[in-house]
Amino acid sequence: MACRGGAIGTAFFGFDKDHTDWPERVVQWHTIPQPEARPEAPSDIFMCPQVLADQAPWGDWMRKAIALIVLAGAVLLSPAAPAAEDLQLNPHLHYGSNRPDGPLITGSAMELGLVNGKPNYVIIYAERSFNCKRQARRTVSLYQKYRGRVNFVIIDLDRKRSPAQQKIVRKYFKKYLPQVVVTDQQGSAVYNQSGEADERSIAGILDAALQ
């Protein structure tokens, strides 16, 4: 919109003039004294927000509004949340033994939980279970195939869990190990079973969730 005769008001940013939370001096329209007429300038002038902020008697409020708008845009355009990466299988696992061999899977950002916008694959395991060790091997194989397209969440019950992981355990864990959970891109579980899960079957579920 153009501002005629130096009159500006809260309508510039679409504020509701009936909004009672704004101070009266912001709700009311104000007139900015205009400089001497310049023939070369058009009669209708669209003044940028910074000029308005500098000249208006309520400039501090305008500057705060501009800062909030810029901040909101930065949040909306921020990149997606990071995911667990560089998943590696412990090379010293004994697949026929229940003895503890240390963490079954290692990697970076292992404390993260579920994300929206991607399917999620979750494994919940204990380090001394040979069934968990075998499922860990399948998990890393699936990670290598679906890396970047599926978010992998690794939860070791023998290690301290992050709040995001603890939330998953409370919601899905059935007290039997290993446990595998697969969610769709909206975060709804499409697979949630205890026991070893066949890699080919899980791959089919992930392929469907990626559609």
Please give the pLDDT value at position 182. Answer: 98
Q: What's the longest Cα–Cα distance across the chain?
A: 91
Give the angle subtended at the CA of 149 by the CAs of 72 and 85, to the nearest 5°: 85
Q: How many CA atoms lie within 13 A of 179 on its CB side?
A: 19
Whether 165 shows a pLDDT value over 70: the answer reads yes
Taking the C-alpha atoms of residue 100 and residue 94, their distance in angstroms, rounded to an integer, is 9
Average pLDDT, the chain: 76
Taking the C-alpha atoms of residue 161 and residue 110, their distance in angstroms, rounded to an integer, is 10
Shared domain for 179 and 123, answered yes or no, is yes
Shared domain for 32 and 72, answered yes or no, is yes
Count: domains in the chain:
2
Taking the C-alpha atoms of residue 211 and residue 199, their distance in angstroms, rounded to an integer, is 19
Shared domain for 62 and 90, answered yes or no, is no
Structural domain span for residue 64:
4-76
Shared domain for 89 and 192, answered yes or no, is yes
Shared domain for 113 and 183, answered yes or no, is yes
Please state, for a pLDDT cut of 70, what percent of the chain lies above it. Answer: 61
Domain closes at, from 59, 76, 93:
76
Shared domain for 123 and 203, answered yes or no, is yes
Model's pTM, two decimal places?
0.62
Whether 48 shows a pLDDT value over 70: the answer reads no
When pLDDT is averaged across residues 20-28 and rounded to a whole number, the result is 39
E strand or H helix that includes residue 106: strand 105-108
Shared domain for 66 and 30, answered yes or no, is yes
76-122 residue pLDDT tens:
333 445 678 999 999 999 999 999 999 999 999 999 999 999 999 99
Shared domain for 65 and 89, answered yes or no, is no
Shared domain for 102 and 11, answered yes or no, is no
